[in-house]
Amino acid sequence: MASHGSVFGAMLQEFEGAARILNLDPGLWKMLTHPKRQIIVSCPIQMDNGEIEVFTGYRVQYNITLGPAKGGIRFHPDVSLDEVTALAAWMTWKCAVAQLPFGGGKGGIICDPTRMSRRELEALTRRYTAEIVDLIGPEKDIPAPDVNTNEQVMAWFMDTYSMHVGHTSTAVVTGKPVEMGGSLGRREATGRGVMITTREAARHLGFDLQGATVSVQGFGNVGSVAAALLAQLGAKVVAVTDWKGGVYNAAGLDIPALLDYTQQHRSVDGFPHAEALDRPAIFGLDVDVFVPAALENQITVENADQIKAKLIVEGANGPTTPDAHALLHKRGVFVVPDILANAGGVTTSYFEWVQDRHGYFWNEAEVNEKLEAKMVQAFAAVLETAERYKIDMRTAAYIVAINRVATVTKMRGMYA
């Protein structure tokens, strides 16, 4: 069904292990391994130099059994239909693990936003929105920010959709500016979820995060927030890498200072209060906790043996290949999988959607309190499943998710 090296193929491998343990009905198996809808659109825009460029955009609605599709939109040169389909599938399982009334979706445009002006990015966002406008909506499909997209992109997206439907529709996207219906606490939510699951996992494994050493791959929104919150719990974040370079300090990095530095320099590279660290060296550091929070397929069979951390918490989507995960599990490394560890973002997106639809907004403490409860509950459900079946946390998370989607699929029956 998927070629070797395919991101969707990796998802299918993970799905298969859980489906076999569940003894999933063959018909349900087929239904849950095929995306409901894959949309490819052409987005012509006029560039600043007057020339017309045509960009390719995707939107995949993988499964909408539990509710409207939910998932981000990424702008990246390497976006592909295979990747977007895999990410939409992971969103399906992530929403199910977190017990949210959403299905899974994902979108992307093949472009290099670092080479585009603000006007070009706005034109591209609006054209892409217009191309998929009939397929999205608060009860159909709710996009959000992802790699290289942000609050501003969501504001353009929401405005374009609202112009098409003839009224302001704040609930069509999440991750918007607070001034136009965004939720307090949303920007930090994914990193906060990573912190909560790291804390719960450390508690389960019997070690204290106070003084524990942590390395973080990727210092974007997820990695930087997770690092800051773990440091607040007393953990020592000793190493961070990003797209350009890396930094290391055995005594612990000054995370607030590093955040200030990256605001100015757009990278951790060259941070003066640390040693330079080669990006691949992040995998071999002798630390208690490793947080991969960059892109997918970072932990592979080539580097999995180098990892010394006893706990890996996946801030990114799909950062570990299935074969690498098998090696880690064999070695006794405890992995909190992406569909659980980084579910804080979509959980707070759900809170944002609820607030928009009700027109009543919570303060940040309420949002964080609700997120804490949801993440702790989800972690406990996956851990209980892992212990019951004597399996790893990734397979357990898939079992929880697949079981929830399959149960509702059976209850709903098949429309023919």
Whole-number Cα distances in Å, 370 to 5, 219, 230, 367: 38, 26, 19, 5
Q: How far apart are CA 98 and CA 377, in angstroms?
A: 8
Q: How far apart are CA 307 and CA 11, in angstroms?
A: 22
Q: Residues 393, 386: contact at Cβ < 8 Å?
A: yes
Q: Residues 94, 129: contact at Cβ < 8 Å?
A: no
Q: Is 115 helix (H, G, I), strand (E, B) or coil?
A: helix
Beta pairing, strands 275-276 & 246-248: antiparallel
**CA nearest neighbour of 313 among 203, 183, 155, 194:** 194
Which positions ≥6 away from 225 have C-beta within 8 Å? 187, 188, 190, 191, 192, 194, 195
- Which amino acids are annotated catalytic? 106
Ranges of beta strands (E only) in 199-280 are 213-217, 236-241, 246-248, 275-276
- For residue 403, count CB atoms less than 10 angstroms from its CB and return exposed for 0-12, middle for 13-18, buried for 19 or more: middle
Q: How far apart are CA 381 and CA 377, in angstroms?
A: 6
Q: Residues 154, 129: contact at Cβ < 8 Å?
A: no
DSSP state at residue 117: -
CB hemisphere CA count around 33 (13 angstroms)? 22
User: At 44, which helix (H) or strand (E)?
Assistant: strand 37-46
Q: Residues 215, 238: contact at Cβ < 8 Å?
A: yes
Ranges of beta strands (E only) in 139-235 are 141-145, 213-217
Whole-number Cα distances in Å, 125 to 89, 115, 161: 23, 15, 11
Q: 356: which 2 tokens?
A: 């928009």
